[in-house]
Structure 1
């Protein structure tokens, strides 16, 4: 994959983060406000949803009136009273949106255009500003690998700004002082989200999910029980063997180092098969719990991928 014709977003260099780079997404959020189609409909290639996670809250039950939708009849109350009753709903006006932002070492990689961590930060900024524009409260859990930084949901400008400023600080510190010890487990991150998020939250997991294991499946189920959950994976073409490079290169995951021969079709095939197996496992987990799954590449601009 070539990035010769690609231009970096305004203020971006593809490696470090700056405030202007992420503030730019505030203006982009209006593209997905009603009556425009939702961001998630765009990401998932669907068009039926018109808002970001907007739903209806149950309000009360009253006796049926002419013109009421028969699909809203409360059959339990109807049976108990002997008279038809209807459920009334009000549009959900505000909900907590919680971002899980993965800034562990595997995200600090990019072979062609941006680091995966930079692309993830761009998506996090867009989601934060969109949540604010829709009058939802936005918070985050930032996983540094060493600790989980909790930012409680806020419905004011300070919500997105607090997330962005913390994201920039942590990201750039990680670049300057990379950590080589094993990161805290993905299980701890999911457990923290379960504890922190009130029922009815929109929980968006932004990660490459390299630390996700089968035993974490049950924790996804717990999150999904009372919340809407979305998984957004960030990936780089080199992770599945897509590269124009045809030489031998030393690669490392901070613990082990090995040489890979990218001139070998077998090497590229092994990488592709390994990547696809992980993709299939993640999609299977998402499907089994009714969780939406989407993937964002680090090899082209975020907005270009969203707009096609």
Structure 2
């Protein structure tokens, strides 16, 4: 059952913000810098190393052969053409400019949970806004599939501010439907239907970004994600609340799902251990599944600033992004 904890924080200012605000999501445009879903990342980035080749990035199209000039990258030398023409020759490629990105944004009732700063649904909306603004800033198109308690909304990929605004409007509408009157149990299947629609919308060598807590994932989910990875890249943003990871001893607390409230004795050691074990097992299954398919997983906590977490996870140093984490690179895209 999706739960919010109205009295979990010691000060009202620390309580979880239940709903996303469109003005705040629009302002995230100015913070959508210092990270990229492209494979060229600093050395300690989640997207670097052996998984880097799994993210295709924009493709390269052959343009021409031309003579080598001082300063050219020697790795671009075409040795067969060099031998045939009897002079150093390189192959010139141009980068494909358009790489559509589809965001799957989870705003189902299980996301309406939060103990501090924001609910999971708000954190997911923030992550989606940051991704959408970044994608369009790099010149790519962005679309979305938004899961909600009332159904699924599709936003076809588009470029520039208008496309982002459509995505944010749909996300806000879904967010403000929470919580569902019936608890939203019948929306768990929306995850698989959302994946089906994302697969239909995403082109070959595109990118699908899953922003969810994974509630309701089953065998069909695994099959649909596996099918997606056959023709496009997939990145998962795993949104969770710290209380799900480790339930503190708060004594007897009141938890609420909309208008329904129950008391929970968090002082029970057995309850806390079972709670932590269930979360650890869910996260372990997600990570194991993702490793087998080389899908990067970006964990996002609800109690921390989402933009900072995404920059840290994708490898940006906290120095304004002027240099990469290795200390040798230039600004990240």
Aligned counterpart in structure 2 of residue 206 of structure 1, from 183, 206, 211: 211
Partner residue in 1 for 2:241: 236
What is the distance in 1 between the residues matched to 2:249 and 2:36?
A: 35
- Please say which of residues 231-240 and 59-68 is displaced more in the overlay: 59-68
Partner residue in 2 for 1:222: 227
Using the TM superposition, give the Cα deviation of residue 53 of structure 1 relative to its aligned residue in structure 2, in angstroms.
7.1
Q: Is the CA contact 2:16–2:119 (under 8 Å) kept in the aligned structure 1? A: no
SS at match of 2:125: helix
Aligned counterpart in structure 2 of residue 132 of structure 1, from 133, 136, 151: 136
The higher relative CO (CA closer than 8 Å, separation ≥ 6) is in 2
- Please say which of residues 100-109 and 210-219 is displaced more in the overlay: 210-219
Question: In the comparison of the two structures, how many residue pairs are matched?
Answer: 291
Q: Is the CA contact 1:6–1:300 (under 8 Å) kept in the aligned structure 2? A: no
Aligned counterpart in structure 2 of residue 89 of structure 1, from 90, 93, 97: 93
Q: Is the CA contact 1:240–1:268 (under 8 Å) kept in the aligned structure 2? A: no
In structure 2, relative to structure 1, the CA distance for the partners of 1:240 and 1:73 (3 Å cut) is: same
Counting only pairs closer than 5 Å after superposition, residues 178-217 of structure 1 correspond to structure 2 as 180-183=184-187, 184-217=189-222
Partner residue in 1 for 2:303: 299
- Please say which of residues 191-200 and 117-126 is displaced more in the overlay: 191-200
Q: Is the CA contact 1:186–1:211 (under 8 Å) kept in the aligned structure 2? A: yes
The two structures, once aligned, show a CA RMSD in angstroms of: 3.9
In structure 2, relative to structure 1, the CA distance for the partners of 1:304 and 1:185 (3 Å cut) is: closer
Partner residue in 1 for 2:276: 272
Aligned counterpart in structure 2 of residue 22 of structure 1, from 22, 25, 30: 25
Q: Please list the CA deviations of residues 93-120 of structure 1 after superposition, one character each: whole Å capped at 9, or x if unmatched.
A: 2211110001111001112221110011
In structure 2, relative to structure 1, the CA distance for the partners of 1:89 and 1:103 (3 Å cut) is: same
In structure 2, relative to structure 1, the CA distance for the partners of 1:259 and 1:5 (3 Å cut) is: closer
Using the TM superposition, give the Cα deviation of residue 197 of structure 1 relative to its aligned residue in structure 2, in angstroms.
1.1
- 1:56 is the counterpart of 2:44: no
In structure 2, relative to structure 1, the CA distance for the partners of 1:168 and 1:250 (3 Å cut) is: closer
What is the distance in 2 between the residues matched to 1:216 and 1:56?
A: 28
What is the distance in 1 between the residues matched to 2:12 and 2:289?
A: 34
What is the distance in 1 between the residues matched to 2:30 and 2:305?
A: 16
What is the distance in 1 between the residues matched to 2:301 and 2:111?
A: 12
Aligned counterpart in structure 2 of residue 150 of structure 1, from 150, 154, 158: 154
- Please say which of residues 167-176 and 145-154 is displaced more in the overlay: 167-176
Normalised by the size of structure 2, how large is the TM-score?
0.73
Normalised by the size of structure 1, how large is the TM-score?
0.79
Partner residue in 1 for 2:266: 262
Q: List gaps (5 residues or longer) in structure 1.
A: none
Q: Is the CA contact 1:96–1:137 (under 8 Å) kept in the aligned structure 2? A: yes
Q: Please list the CA deviations of residues 208-227 of structure 1 after superposition, one character each: whole Å capped at 9, or x if unmatched.
A: 00111234222212111121
Using the TM superposition, give the Cα deviation of residue 153 of structure 1 relative to its aligned residue in structure 2, in angstroms.
0.6
Q: Please list the CA deviations of residues 62-101 of structure 1 after superposition, one character each: whole Å capped at 9, or x if unmatched.
A: 69979987866899xx7xxx96997653223221111000
Q: Is the CA contact 2:241–2:302 (under 8 Å) kept in the aligned structure 1? A: yes
What is the distance in 1 between the residues matched to 2:100 and 2:284?
A: 30
Q: List gaps (5 residues or longer) in structure 2.
A: 1-7, 313-317, 319-333
What is the distance in 1 between the residues matched to 2:128 and 2:215?
A: 19
Q: Is the CA contact 2:105–2:146 (under 8 Å) kept in the aligned structure 1? A: yes
What is the distance in 2 between the residues matched to 1:202 and 1:93?
A: 14
Using the TM superposition, give the Cα deviation of residue 54 of structure 1 relative to its aligned residue in structure 2, in angstroms.
4.0
In structure 2, relative to structure 1, the CA distance for the partners of 1:56 and 1:196 (3 Å cut) is: closer
Partner residue in 2 for 1:101: 105
